[in-house]
A and B are shown apart, each in its own frame.
Chain A
Amino acid sequence: MANGRFFDEMTKPDGLPRDVYQRVAHWVSSAPPELLASRRSQAELMFRRIGITFAVYGDKDSTERLIPFDIVPRVLGRSEWTRLEAGLIQRVKVLNMFLADLYGKGEVIKAGIIPEDIVLNNEHFRPEMRGVKVPHDVYVHISGIDIVRVDDHDFYVLEDNARTPSGVSYMLENREVMMRLVPELFAQHRVAPVENYPDALLSSLRSVAPLQAGNDPVCVLLTPGIFNSAYYEHSFLADKLGVELVEGRDLLVKNNVVYMRTTQGPQRVDVIYRRIDDDFLDPLAFRPDSALGVPGLMQAYLAGNVTLANAVGTGVADDKAVYTYMPEIIKFYLGEEPLLKNVPTWRCREPDALKYVLDHLPELVVKEVNGSGGYGMLVGPHATREQIAEFATKLKNDPDGFIAQPTLNLSTCPASFESGIGPRHVDLRPFVLSGADGVRVIPGGLTRVAMKEGSLVVNSSQGGGTKDTWVIEDFQGGLA
């Protein structure tokens, strides 16, 4: 099963399973194909019944589609996790310090760590936030850091998602479904639970409420509405958090205070976990055509009467051009070496880098600095000559708008199909929470898997699937 070119999470090059995968490997290889097939169809049925669907933009036929789920879990040993966790905490701590600095004194720019124009010309930089003090200096309350591996020792950060990262409902539901599907596997492992994520999230949110909110702040989750692709997740989380799921039209602002419209009249709101982008938050402050937002929200926010999570303007930190400076930024604030590596990246804005990238397009991955969801991206080795030529033109016209990375040999993990078991490329999005009480990570995350053989694109908007992600104790003993 191991394929010489890629690091397989389960199987070593000699064909034997890695230690943490012993029991899973045994289960996969000994389970009759009919059993796996019935588990796969059960899983599909469960997801369909629960109603976990995902709307894909531009896909008219299926406004509600199921994200494929793979029944073979992705496993991380405790020691691997501990290393990863420390790196994630370091990274998110720095993201918060970086944002506080950018909107504050700007030391990182003065020290020449990052060019000023990258920040100022960034469309996600919000000058309105300059000099604004956010509670406990926390900007990125919820982040999803995309991690990939190419071997068994290093974790690479592929992207920092610091705006409104999604996917955590899949982390939670995948676990629920797996526990019902393969109880025998859970009986053989001690898997770190993820079900406390909503509690942790709620306490992070409450910890950053404005002071005047008192001991029992009112939190709400702000969604763009049922047509948003992540609406299922919004409603799922609001339910788990026990907070109201509000749309823009449910909120109103009076004298810089935010209220929600209830059956008993207006009720004051203290913390808004918003799943709406900055641009759409407030038609008075940002896009005037936004029907999703709340007029006056930004004024209430700047007056300190309500906390937005994530803060306004965090997009500048998850920009792909800023990403390339993260190792230096970490050193600058903490005086420490980064625990997680950056994928080596060419900044096309630098003439030498641009020349190299143009010369090596067929072997590189080129990304738009402001793109997300796997759109606006060139995967050189899989691209046609026309696509490469098209991208070369784009690059020459707007070098600042692109970065390039080597095509990573993303690790693979076995996945179960009708045709049998086969390795598929995976990444991992752990979810990191920041509050007044510090930064924490729920052990696990969302493993995304490229369901097409050989494909490196794991995004759910492009047919990627998911797996349950287990953090288990290193010593699992021999086979029973």
Chain B
Amino acid sequence: MLSRTADNLYWLSRYMERADFLARIIDAAQRLATLPTAYGGTGSEWESTLNAAGALDGYREHVGAVNETSAIYYLAFDPQNSSSICNCLEYARTNARAVRTALTIEMWQSINGAWLEMKRFQAAFGKPGTIDRLELARFLDFVRKASLDFDGSAHRTMLRNDAHWFSRLGLYMERADTTARILDVKYNVLLPETEQVGGSLDYFQWTAILRAVSALTAYNWVYKETIKPWLVADLLILRPEMPRSLRSCYDDITRLLDNIGRAYGKQGPSQNKALETLRQLETIDIKQIFEKGLHEFLTDFIESNDALGAAIGGQYLIHVDESTTETQAQSQA
């Protein structure tokens, strides 16, 4: 397939996944922000949410002081924020338009439908402070549904070939990144077992993290006990059965890259890199992670995930002329 098509499919999925993530963290932050400080409300929920979205610097530059109304607008609607939900849906659709032929009708309709609906919301609430809680809840719900709809249509209707694999690859790369980021922003409340001081105060912070990655129920099923911070970290980093965990994402990433490598009869740097990360996630336990320092572990992970993204780009998505002549020579030999 065309490198550009693979590139568009990859980014299309990343943007859809990012929109979903943003909707979830806005929802979680809103719940936290309504809590009295005695229950763990810190007053800095919006700051850490902007941070988790990687949007804090941009916010400070364009908007200034952090408050709920402006933060919600910035994360959801603001055209100045390149990663606002509306921009994610806009970019997703732009990518989708460019690869209409690689999408199934169902996928296109789900994206196009979401985009039209988003435009409607944008027209109604395209200014800060114009959206009330009820409408915001509707909007966030719509975004999550749109992402589910896209995901479901991709899963149900796409041929299982390289187009499918690149599209899924984008999804898991984005998911691994956002899971690591939200954990990193909250790492200070995820203390190791031995330092369980005043833990109950952070109870709502932990549930907020779980909620943000739709893992609250999953936690109950997996651990069958009250919420413990190190178990939250365990669930989201190491548990293979948890679909948002770093481990699970890398199970999928490795499998997808293997599929691509097999189909093309050639492995490369991205296969090696993904496997290396997966082996690490398979062998390390949560105790070791805390010993190393959760923040350090997550920072390393985010960097290595970015490096994998670059490797995938170099190997499949972006073709510089030298590399093409090289492969050309190989294929003719």
Q: In B69-106, which residues have CB < 8 Å from any A CB? A: 94, 97-98, 100-101, 105
Residues of B near A226 (CB, < 8 A) are: 94, 97-98
CA distance A238 to B113 in the complex (A): 22
Residues of A near B105 (CB, < 8 A) are: 50
Contact between B6 and A265, CB atoms less than 8 A apart: no
Residues of A near B4 (CB, < 8 A) are: 247, 249-250, 261
Which stretch, A104-112, A252-260, A313-321, A324-332, touches the partner chain B? A252-260
Residues of A near B145 (CB, < 8 A) are: none
A48 at the interface (CB under 8 A from B): yes
B230 at the interface (CB under 8 A from A): no
A231 at the interface (CB under 8 A from B): yes
Q: Chain B's interface: helix, strand, loop or mixed, by majority?
A: helix
Contact between B321 and A252, CB atoms less than 8 A apart: yes
A41 at the interface (CB under 8 A from B): no
CA distance A265 to B98 in the complex (A): 20
B196 at the interface (CB under 8 A from A): no
Contact between A263 and B101, CB atoms less than 8 A apart: no
CA distance A261 to B6 in the complex (A): 11
Residues of A near B101 (CB, < 8 A) are: 235, 238-239, 244-245
A60 at the interface (CB under 8 A from B): no
Partner of B331, one of A48, A236, A245, A265: A265
Contact A235 to B100, CB < 8 A, known contacts A51-B108, A262-B1, A263-B6: yes
B221 at the interface (CB under 8 A from A): no
A396 CB → nearest B CB, Å: 46
Count residues on chain A whose CB falls below 8 Å from chain B CBs: 28
CA distance A315 to B264 in the complex (A): 42
A313 CB → nearest B CB, Å: 28
Number of A-B residue pairs, CB cutoff 8 Å, is 72
Contact with A along B314-330 (1 / 0, CB 8 A): 00110101001101101
Contact A254 to B1, CB < 8 A, known contacts A235-B101, A265-B331: no
B220 at the interface (CB under 8 A from A): no
Contact between B316 and A263, CB atoms less than 8 A apart: yes
Residues of A near B1 (CB, < 8 A) are: 244, 262-263
CA distance A427 to B162 in the complex (A): 44
CA distance A225 to B327 in the complex (A): 27
Contact between B2 and A236, CB atoms less than 8 A apart: no
A385 at the interface (CB under 8 A from B): no
A168 at the interface (CB under 8 A from B): no
A266 at the interface (CB under 8 A from B): yes
B3 at the interface (CB under 8 A from A): yes
Chain A residue nearest in CB terms to B330: A265
Chain A residue nearest in CB terms to B315: A263
B307 at the interface (CB under 8 A from A): no
Q: In B295-333, which residues have CB < 8 Å from any A CB? A: 316-317, 319, 321, 324-325, 327-328, 330-331
Residues of B near A254 (CB, < 8 A) are: 325, 328
A196 at the interface (CB under 8 A from B): no
A264 CB → nearest B CB, Å: 5
B222 at the interface (CB under 8 A from A): no
Contact with A along B250-266 (1 / 0, CB 8 A): 00000000001000100
B179 CB → nearest A CB, Å: 27
Residues of A near B2 (CB, < 8 A) are: 244, 246, 250, 260-263
Residues of B near A250 (CB, < 8 A) are: 2-4
Residues of A near B264 (CB, < 8 A) are: 263-264
B42 at the interface (CB under 8 A from A): no
Count residues on chain B whose CB falls below 8 Å from chain A CBs: 31
A49 at the interface (CB under 8 A from B): yes
Residues of B near A264 (CB, < 8 A) are: 264, 327
Residues of A near B328 (CB, < 8 A) are: 254, 259, 265-266
Contact with A along B129-161 (1 / 0, CB 8 A): 000000000000000000000000000000000
Q: In B97-130, which residues have CB < 8 Å from any A CB? A: 97-98, 100-101, 105, 108-109, 112-113, 116
CA distance A232 to B162 in the complex (A): 24
Partner of B319, one of A50, A225, A247, A261: A261
Residues of B near A263 (CB, < 8 A) are: 1-3, 6, 162, 166, 260, 264, 316-317
Contact between B324 and A51, CB atoms less than 8 A apart: no
Chain B residue nearest in CB terms to A231: B97
Residues of B near A245 (CB, < 8 A) are: 100-101
Contact with A along B1-19 (1 / 0, CB 8 A): 1111110000000000000
CA distance A49 to B116 in the complex (A): 9
Residues of B near A265 (CB, < 8 A) are: 319, 324, 327-328, 330-331
CA distance A9 to B16 in the complex (A): 49
CA distance A232 to B6 in the complex (A): 19
Contact A51 to B98, CB < 8 A, known contacts A263-B3, A265-B327: no
A369 CB → nearest B CB, Å: 35
CA distance A380 to B228 in the complex (A): 82
Listed residue (B100, B101, B105, B321) with the most chain A CB atoms within 10 angstroms of its CB? B101
Residues of A near B97 (CB, < 8 A) are: 51, 226, 231, 235
CA distance A254 to B328 in the complex (A): 10
CA distance A265 to B324 in the complex (A): 6
Contact with B along A36-61 (1 / 0, CB 8 A): 00000000000011110000000000
Residues of A near B116 (CB, < 8 A) are: 48
B206 CB → nearest A CB, Å: 42
Residues of B near A50 (CB, < 8 A) are: 105, 109
CA distance A265 to B326 in the complex (A): 9
Chain A residue nearest in CB terms to B263: A264
Contact between A261 and B113, CB atoms less than 8 A apart: no
Contact between B316 and A252, CB atoms less than 8 A apart: no
Chain A residue nearest in CB terms to B323: A265
Residues of B near A266 (CB, < 8 A) are: 324, 327-328
Listed residue (A51, A244, A263) with the most chain B CB atoms within 10 angstroms of its CB? A263
A42 CB → nearest B CB, Å: 15
Chain A residue nearest in CB terms to B163: A263
CA distance A239 to B330 in the complex (A): 30
Chain A residue nearest in CB terms to B109: A49
Residues of A near B317 (CB, < 8 A) are: 263
Contact between B325 and A49, CB atoms less than 8 A apart: no
Chain B residue nearest in CB terms to A251: B2
Residues of A near B327 (CB, < 8 A) are: 264-266
Residues of A near B109 (CB, < 8 A) are: 49-51
CA distance A247 to B316 in the complex (A): 17
Residues of A near B166 (CB, < 8 A) are: 263
Residues of B near A235 (CB, < 8 A) are: 97, 100-101
Listed residue (B1, B2, B3, B325) with the most chain A CB atoms within 10 angstroms of its CB? B2
Contact A49 to B112, CB < 8 A, known contacts A239-B100, A244-B2, A263-B1: yes
Interface residues of A (CB under 8 A from B): 48-51, 225-226, 231-232, 235-236, 238-239, 244-247, 249-250, 252, 254, 259-266
Besides A250-B4, A261-B319, A263-B166, 13 other A-B contacts (C-beta < 8 A)? A50-B109, A226-B98, A235-B101, A236-B100, A244-B1, A244-B101, A245-B101, A250-B2, A250-B3, A254-B328, A263-B6, A263-B316, A265-B327
Q: Please provide the 5 A-B residue pairs with the shortest distance between their CB atoms, ordered closest to farther.
A: A265-B327, A235-B100, A239-B101, A263-B316, A261-B319
20 A-B residue contacts at CB 8 Å? A49-B109, A49-B113, A50-B105, A51-B108, A51-B109, A225-B98, A226-B98, A232-B100, A238-B101, A239-B101, A244-B1, A244-B2, A245-B100, A252-B321, A259-B328, A261-B3, A261-B324, A262-B1, A265-B324, A266-B328
